[in-house]
Amino acid sequence: MGESDRDERNPRRVVVTGASSGIGRASAVEFARRGWQVVGVARRTDRLEALADETGASVFTADLTDQADVDALRDHLEASGPVHALVNNAGGAHGLDSVEAGSIDDWRWMYEINVLGVKRMVSALLPLLRRAAGASGHADILTVTSTAGHAAYAGGGGYNAAKFAAHALTDVLRLELAGEPIRVIEVAPGMVATDEFSLVRFGGDRAKADGVYEGVENPLTAHDVAVTIVDALEREPHVNQDLIVLRPLAQTGAGVHKGRLTPRL
């Protein structure tokens, strides 16, 4: 954030979805550490209360696949202060089956949270972001997608489809907001070792979840991605990073090297 944007008496306010765990929680913590007003949003109230106790963040329990919850969140935000930035982080994957064998219910859930959840949040909060941009000079919408939204891989059909759609949604939104002082940013992480992503993907099978990262030297952490997110929003307002792709060094494209990283001498 440029020095002209820093005002400790009136800090910028950011809404972070999926704030109960992983990248969302790490982002909320990093925003709070840097002096932002944070509103953490997620389904699990107990996790949000722990985040609030740790960081002083405000929290709101909402399921982004439920329009009534999103409407209630919008009304709460409108009544409680300006919204300068939205971080669409809520998302996830279910299953690693082929297109042929994949569960329709899994595919539907992935589309609901990764795509329609983002659409709901943009539709609900864009008027508030415009109002804040008019008062402070600019606002931000940042969506966390995935490298799975840029390169397909076997078994990724439903997740690839959802994240490709989220990527397209973000590109279209940027075109539609041309001429307004609202940045639209996409952060697409590769392999990130978090407590829950792979565990959810494999239906709670801890052995399968741990196997994803086994032998990979230094996969990204949630904190790595969180720092990238906050840095992007703290750039000078005229600097828009349309797309930020970040991977661990052990990952190239959809491939991951397992074992030590050593120079070829």
The structure tokens listed for 53 are: 């106790």
Q: What's the residue count for the chain?
A: 265
Unique residue bearing structure tokens 């389904």: 43
Distances in Å between the Cα of 173 and the Cα atoms of 17, 121, 178, 182, 213 are 18, 13, 9, 10, 34
Verify whether residue 153 is a known catalytic residue: no
Say if residues 99 and 157 touch (Cβ distance below 8 Å).
yes
Q: Is beta strand 255-256 parallel, antiparallel or unpaired with respect to 251-252?
A: antiparallel
Whether the Cβ atoms of residue 141 and residue 15 lie closer than 8 Å to each other? no
Q: Which of 256, 191, 258, 253 is nearest to 220 (CA)?
A: 191
How far apart CA 124 and CA 136 sit, in angstroms, is 20
Q: How far is CA 189 from the centre of its chain?
A: 9
Q: Which of 26, 66, 30 is nearest to 197 (CA)?
A: 26
Q: Cα 132 vs. chain centroid, distance in angstroms?
A: 21
37-42 vs 58-61, strand pairing mode: parallel
String of b and e for 88-124 (b: at least 16 CB within 10 Å)?
A: bbbbbbbbbeeeeebeeebbebbbbbbbbbbbbbbeb
Name the residues annotated as catalytic: 159
